[in-house]
Amino acid sequence: MPLTFSVECFYIVFEDEIHQTIVENNLFKPGDRVAIGASGGKDSTVLAYVLSELNHRHKYCLDLFLLSVDEGITGYRDDSLETVKRNEIQYGLPLKIISYKDLYGWTMDDIVKAIGLKNNCTFCGVFRRQALDRGAALLKVDKIVTGHNADDIAETVLLNILRGDIARLSRCTFITTGEDGPIPRCKPFKYTYEKEILDYFSTECIYSPNAYRGFAREFIKDLERMRPRAILDIIKSGSPQQQGCQSKEHKLCKACVLLDGLNRGLPKLGVGRTKGVAGGDSDCEQQAKRPERSRSSLQGKHGNIDF
C-alpha cells in the first residue's frame, strides 16, 4: 500500500529534503549574497519561497535577491514578470530585472522575426545565461540559484547523449557549476521531482513548443511511468566518470557570436556547433550592445525586416 501524506506533512517533508540537499552539498556559507533566478514560473516561484523560509528557519544568514531576465516575449514574459513583482512584495526580497533589449539591443520577438521558430531557443538560452551573469555581477552576489529540478537535469543528460556531447554530460549533473568562474550557480532542486513542486502556477513560453527539449521531456515522462526511478537513474548516468576535451583556446563566447550574426544580418551564423567558440557564459571584449541601425538593416536572402 503506497505511503500517503496530508498536505501539511507533505510541505514539511518537501522543505526538509531541500534543507538536507543544501546542507549535505554545502551550497552556501553564512553571509553569502545569493541571487534567485526568478522567471515567474512554478520552479523559481517555489524556490524563492522555500529558500526564503529555510533561510529564516535554519538561520543560513543569507542575503537573498530576486533576479529576473526580460527576454522581450510579448504575452508571456510581461505576464510572468508581474508574478515576480508580486513575489518581491510577498517574500520581502529585493528584485532586479535585466532585459535583452538593454543588454543586446534585441528582444526575443525581434530575434524570432529574423531567425524564425526553428533555432530561437539557441539564442534565448545563450543570452539568458549571460544576462543572469551580468545581473548577478550588478547585484554583487556570491552565487546564483536556479529552479532546475530532477526532471530538467535528466532531460539535459538525455539531450547531451542524443547529441553526442560527451564533454557536457557530467557537467550538467553537477549541483554546483561555474566554480572556476566569477559567480557559481547551484541547483537546490536537483533531487526534487517536477511533480513534487506543488501549489504553483505555470505558463509556457510561446516560442518553446517546438524545442528539441520538449521531445526529451515527453520521453522521460513515459520512462517514469514504467520505472519511477528513471529520472534519478538518468542523472546518475551522467555523473562524472570520464571528462572530454576541455580546450580553452577560444576567442569569442557563444553569446557574442550569435549577437554578431544578428547585427550583420546573418542570424544563422552562430547556430549549431561553431569551431573556436566558447560555451557562452563568459563575456567578451566585443561590445555586447548592437550599434544603431537603419530600420531595414537586415537584408539579403532573409528579406527586409523592420523593427
- What pLDDT is attached to residue 249? 47
- Rounded mean pLDDT, 6-16: 83
38 annotated to bind ligand: yes
User: Higher confidence at residue 207 or residue 69?
Assistant: 69
279 annotated to bind ligand: no
Sequence letter at residue 200 = Y
43 annotated to bind ligand: yes
- Rounded mean pLDDT, 295-304: 36
All structural domains of the chain:
16-241 (3.40.50.620)
Q: Is the pLDDT assigned to residue 80 strictly greater than 50?
A: yes
With H, G, I as helix, E, B as strand and everything else as coil, classify residue 252. Answer: strand
User: Higher confidence at residue 264 or residue 223?
Assistant: 264
112 annotated to bind ligand: no
User: Higher confidence at residue 275 or residue 108?
Assistant: 108
Average pLDDT, the chain: 79
Say what the pTM is.
0.70
- Rounded mean pLDDT, 185-214: 68
- Rounded mean pLDDT, 101-128: 89
152 annotated to bind ligand: yes
- Rounded mean pLDDT, 110-124: 86
Q: Is the dihedral of CA 12, 14, 17, 22 positive or negative?
A: negative
First to last CA, the chain: 60
- What pLDDT is attached to residue 228? 76
- What pLDDT is attached to residue 42? 87
- What pLDDT is attached to residue 149? 94
Tell me the pLDDT band of 254, cut-offs 50, 70 and 90: confident
Q: Any idea which of 3-17, 26-40, 211-225, 275-289 has the lowest mean pLDDT?
A: 275-289
For helices 108-115 and 120-139, give the axis angle rounded to 10 degrees: 150
Q: Do the Cβ atoms of 73 and 103 come closer than 8 Å?
A: no
Adjacent-strand bridge partners of 277: 252
- What pLDDT is attached to residue 235? 77
Tell me the pLDDT band of 213, cut-offs 50, 70 and 90: low
Q: Is the pLDDT assigned to residue 26 strictly greater than 80?
A: yes
Question: Is residue 177 classed exposed, middle or buried when 0-12, 13-18 and 19+ CB atoms within 10 A define those classes?
Answer: middle
- Rounded mean pLDDT, 46-64: 96
